[in-house]
Structure 1
Amino acid sequence: MTTSVVDNGVNVEALLGARDAFADAPQIARFQWRSQVSWAHGTHSRAEVESFHGFGEEQRHHTSFHFDIDHPTQFAALDNGITPVEYVLVALGGCLTAGVAAIAQQRGIQLRSVQADVSAEMDLHGILGADPDVRNGFSDVRVQFRIDADATPAEIAGLVAQSQKRSAVYDILTNPTAVTVTVA
């Protein structure tokens, strides 16, 4: 009898070890994520993500990550980056997909491919101030997964359901979150 080893590239033991460490010292589970966004010109901004606070102390990524944010030429902009709302879709798809990989690894399911198509509906009458009754943000967000794995359709549906249940970005989008904006 041959036992195949599942390798989706996720170190489940480390994740479970962190969960155990958090149980012993709950204060180290308190994280602060941050980014710094600087205006460049027009509707173009640049974001940098370099450090965060977690595990009870300051942490640094292995490199500083940079992101361009802009609007397309159809909005009289220069299209130097994706729009802020597209970053939200990227974040949701990335968070759910990472969850699928981690849960599949933990459940012993070998993945061959995972693709999340994320889309959202938005009426620009809201953000342009043309209709005060139209919401500024998304009216509908959809995520459609295509997953090829050594698993039954029910097991794949279970991966997606558990990923959705544990996704920070899904939670941020579906539950009210306090946001404070100040000027220094």
Structure 2
Amino acid sequence: MHTETMTPAVNNGVNTEALIGARGAFEQQPEAAAFTFRSVCDWEEGTYNANTINPYFGLGQEQQRKKTYRIESDHPEVFAAADRAPTPPEIVLAALASCLTGGVASVAQHRGIQLRNVRATVEGDIDVRGILGMDPDIRNGFSAIRVRFDIDADATEAEIRALIAQSQKRSAVFDILTNPTNVAVMLG
């Protein structure tokens, strides 16, 4: 007699079959995997800026999104600014949290783990004396970043830790923050 075990369907809203299919396609056509994302930033006034995001290059050609996204940035009143939006460093923290959290959902879907709730809290320490040019030995950016996950899922603690580890391993933003990246700044 043959007994079949039914595994409950997991739905974390991630189409892992399409992602795995993309991996196969990129193995056949590696040049299609080269993407260039863009953000165009326009100064509004003071320290207030607005970035627009759309289009991008991928799959060998220009791609147009269904809508153009807008990300604003500013500084808080304690820096004599209007506090109309988060600071650019806070946007970096949000990007890291978003990338890692999306990765957790994707890995969980692939591994058959149902998520009920995922929250990432990200903190970054920065000494603004570096930005203000007060001490050349103090860096302008974060001296430390901490990410803490609170995850409720149908999984053991070890399985949840493995989800986080795999998400970190595959996170583009984590890689950007922890490895040198060539950045060219130019006029025109």
Report TM bin, short chain. Answer: over 0.9
**Residues 27-106 of structure 1 aligned to structure 2 (within 5 Å):** 27-106=31-110
Q: Which runs of 5+ in 2 are unaligned?
A: none
Task: Give CA deviations for 1:126-167 in whole Å, capped at 9, x if unaligned.
Answer: 000011110100000000000000000000000000000000
Structure 2 residue corresponding to 1:5, chosen from 6, 9, 12: 9
Structure 2 counterpart of 1:181: 185
Structure 1 counterpart of 2:160: 156
**Residues 100-179 of structure 1 aligned to structure 2 (within 5 Å):** 100-179=104-183
Provide the rounded CA distance (Å) in 1 between the counterparts of 2:6 and 2:25.
34
Residue 16 of structure 1: CA displacement?
0.5
4+ residue runs over 4 A deviation: none
Provide the rounded CA distance (Å) in 1 between the counterparts of 2:6 and 2:26.
36
Residue 3 of structure 1: CA displacement?
3.4
Structure 2 residue corresponding to 1:19, chosen from 12, 16, 23: 23
- 3-state DSSP of counterpart to 2:68: strand
Q: Which runs of 5+ in 1 are unaligned?
A: none
Provide the rounded CA distance (Å) in 1 between the counterparts of 2:150 and 2:33.
32
Task: Give CA deviations for 1:57-103 in whole Å, capped at 9, x if unaligned.
Answer: 11122100011110011110011111000000000000000000000
Amino acid at match of 1:89: L
Residue 2 of structure 1: CA displacement?
4.9
Amino acid at match of 1:29: A
- 3-state DSSP of counterpart to 1:129: coil
Provide the rounded CA distance (Å) in 1 between the counterparts of 2:96 and 2:47.
23
* Structure number with higher strand proportion: 1
Amino acid at match of 1:10: V
Residue 36 of structure 1: CA displacement?
0.2
- Percent of aligned pairs with the same residue? 55
Task: Give CA deviations for 1:25-45 in whole Å, capped at 9, x if unaligned.
Answer: 000000001000000000001
Residue 173 of structure 1: CA displacement?
0.1
